[in-house]
Chain A
Amino acid sequence: DTEVTQTPKHLVMGMTNKKSLKCEQHMGHRAMYWYKQKAKKPPELMFVYSYEKLSINESVPSRFSPECPNSSLLNLHLHALQPEDSALYLCASSPTGRPYEQYFGPGTRLTVT
């Protein structure tokens, strides 16, 4: 299994809603990442988890809350988002020994209304 899967594919939420994005990989990777990508821009790193521990938070607002319940799963909890948070949210993982080779999921297209 060489896939990173993400659910849902699309999400529309209001500014007062609480929702979660999910990411799963079964490649045995111990580093997992959340990125945000706006249209025609490169992915921007949000969070890095290494061995289920948060190792990097790129000054992301607290309305985004990551969680890594186990080595295969990564969640991103969303609350009180703003319309400017609408973007493609990408999850990635990387293998031990090849740390710079990140494998991306298809992303969740989030629209905040």
Chain B
Amino acid sequence: DQQVKQNSPSLSVQEGRISILNCDYTNSMFDYFLWYKKYPAEGPTFLISISSIKDKNEDGRFTVFLNKSAKHLSLHIVPSQPGDSAVYFCAASVAGSARQLTFGSGTQLTVLP
């Protein structure tokens, strides 16, 4: 049973526009959420995180929104740049879980010049 789901395997966006990547989760015990970016032949790179006590966290061009009632989070990238093209993984964790992360299956973002 997938506890973290990314239902869009791919997304294409024009350079300069907004990219919105979505993630849904089923485990209401999750209280910390993260986004990772992965380029081919590299390990995932931590991007941004959000605690369940917040509904928004912003870092430069990246903003993560959390809707706890809908068990949904999203990553907004504005403006999108060609260098943002990568696979984006959503991940979630439970307090006291010895720092285990549950990953979604990833979304391939392609930013077109």
Chain A residues with CB under 8 Å of chain B are: 4, 6, 31, 40-43, 45, 48, 50, 55-56, 90-92, 94, 99-107
Contact = CB atoms under 8 A, between A and B. Distances in A.
B1 interface: no
A48 B97 CA distance: 11
B22 interface: no
Interface of B is mostly: loop
Contacts of B36: 104
30 contacts: A42-B89, A42-B103, A42-B104, A42-B105, A42-B106, A43-B44, A43-B89, A43-B103, A45-B100, A48-B98, A48-B99, A48-B100, A56-B98, A90-B43, A90-B44, A91-B43, A99-B99, A100-B34, A100-B49, A100-B93, A100-B101, A102-B46, A102-B99, A102-B101, A104-B36, A104-B43, A104-B44, A104-B45, A106-B41, A107-B41
B100 A56 contact: yes
Given A42-B89, A48-B99, A100 B32 contact: yes
Contacts of B43: 4, 6, 90-92, 104-107
Contacts of A100: 32, 34, 49, 93, 99, 101
B42 interface: yes
Interface string B76-100: 0000000000000100010000111
A55 B45 contact: no
B85 to A, nearest CB: 17
Contacts of A55: 98
A42 B43 CA distance: 11
A107 B42 CA distance: 7
